Amino acid sequence: TWSMRAYAEVAVEQIRAQVKDGHAICALSGGVDSAVAALLVHRAIGDRLRCIFVDNGVLRANERQQVEEVFGRMFHLPLVTVDARARFLGQLAGVTDPEQKRKIIGREFIGVFEEEVERLAQHGERAAFLVQGTLYPDVIESVSFKGPSATIKSHHNVGGLPEKMKLALVEPLRELFKDEVRRLGLELGLPKESVQRQPFPGPGLAIRVLGEVTEARLELVRRADVIVQEEIRAAGLYEKLWQAFAVLLPVRSVGVMGDERTYESTCAIRAIESTDGMTGDWARLPYELLARLSSRIINEVRGINRVVYDISSKPPATIEWE
Ligand code: XMP
């Protein structure tokens, strides 16, 4: 749209004025906000922007490949992927407490990011700027919001990084709402799938595997989640729902398969209607869709023998289970 084209032009000028001939870094999360922020900055300063994508081992199926595809091959953004899977999973081993999981992931992320920035500096790219996809609601929230989600769950982001690393923030989306960021993303040429992507939490699948996070349990939730994504899209509901995903419960139950008794894991499906994630209602998914989800997950994911549907609204339940 015209207004977003104009916005992009002004933003690019402002970024140039701020960064001058300096270097900037951006942590890509796979989400739309960091993607759009990175594209704007890349337009402004070219390859003096360096993007960092951390594979923390708790990503969904194909997530890393998609980021590399879109940013590396489509946009030719200077992108480093750091494979930190072993580091994160090592730190998460044996941990079951949700807050503890979040803290570990936040801490390790900062560690990995700092090391990478230092490594780039050794190669002559000393960054003075950190690009963040902060939106207008985030600005408002950090100024005035002291409500439940600020205290009940410590949301993971790169907070604390800029002061510690003495980086100046570049936040080209500070004046925009989510729908405007999506329009801007389309204007900048991001594919529709990237722009419409449902939110995915920073701590990733670690908070969707209840109980201990192991490779085997991650694989179960990953495979169940692929089926949820496929079926929700096939039903034409992906863009109507705030989020739809699978959660692996720390519960095993008895089932039968052929003549065999099974004793395996339970998967919960969560589908939420919301406009901002602050409140939400469980989606009244058609029974046929629920039936397909259940039979596909149980038949295709060995290790899950029971599927349940979460019918809790927020509040009092939260969207994520941890
Ligand atoms: P809850 O579970 O608090 O989630 O109802 C509200 C929205 O926020 C997302 N969420 C997170 N996003 N880091 C994030 O970046 C987090 O730690 C985190 N926890 C929850 C959640 O997916 C939902 O969209």
Residue 318 lies in a domain: no
Task: Give the CATH number, domain containing residue 290.
Answer: 3.30.300.10
Q: Domain check: are 163 and 251 in the same one?
A: no
Strand arrangement of the beta sheet that strand 23-28 belongs to: 79-83, 49-55, 23-28, 127-131, 168-170
Q: Domain check: are 220 and 294 in the same one?
A: yes
The ipTM estimated for the assembled molecules is 0.99
The rounded mean pLDDT for the chain is 93
Residue range(s) defining the domain that contains residue 65: 2-195
179: CB partners within 8 A, 6+ apart: none
Q: Domain check: are 24 and 138 in the same one?
A: yes
Q: Domain check: are 173 and 273 in the same one?
A: no
Residue 89 lies in a domain: yes
Q: Domain check: are 31 and 125 in the same one?
A: yes
The proportion of the chain whose per-residue pLDDT surpasses 90, expressed as a percent, equals 88
User: According to the annotation, is 35 in a ligand binding site?
Assistant: yes
Q: With 70 as the cut, is the pLDDT of residue 190 above it? A: yes
Ligand 1 pocket residue status of 270, Cβ below 6 Å:
no
pLDDT digits (tens, 9 = 90+) for 252-285: 999 998 999 999 999 999 999 999 899 999 999 9
Residue 276 lies in a domain: yes
Which of 170, 195, 220 is at the close of a domain?
195
Distance 201 CA to ligand 1 centre (A): 5
pLDDT digits (tens, 9 = 90+) for 54-67: 999 999 999 999 99
Residue 250 lies in a domain: yes
pLDDT digits (tens, 9 = 90+) for 122-181: 999 999 999 999 999 888 876 654 444 444 444 445 555 666 678 999 999 999 999 999
Residue 115 lies in a domain: yes
3-class SS of residue 155? coil
Question: How much is the pLDDT for 159?
Answer: 55
Ligand 1 pocket residue status of 50, Cβ below 6 Å:
no
CB neighbour class for 258 (10 Å; exposed up to 12, middle 13-18, buried from 19) = exposed
Residue 321 lies in a domain: no
Separation CA 82–CA 76 (nearest Å): 17
Which of 158, 174, 195 is at the close of a domain?
195
Separation CA 39–CA 98 (nearest Å): 33
Q: What total number of domains does the chain contain?
A: 2
Q: What's the predicted TM-score (pTM) here?
A: 0.91
Pocket perturbation via mutation, ligand 1, pick of 155, 242, 274, 321 by most ligand atoms within 8 A of CB: 155
User: Which structure tokens are listed for 114?
Assistant: 């700092």
**Which residue has a Cα nearest atom 17 of ligand 1?**
155
Residue 322 lies in a domain: no
Cβ atoms within 10 Å, residue 213: 29
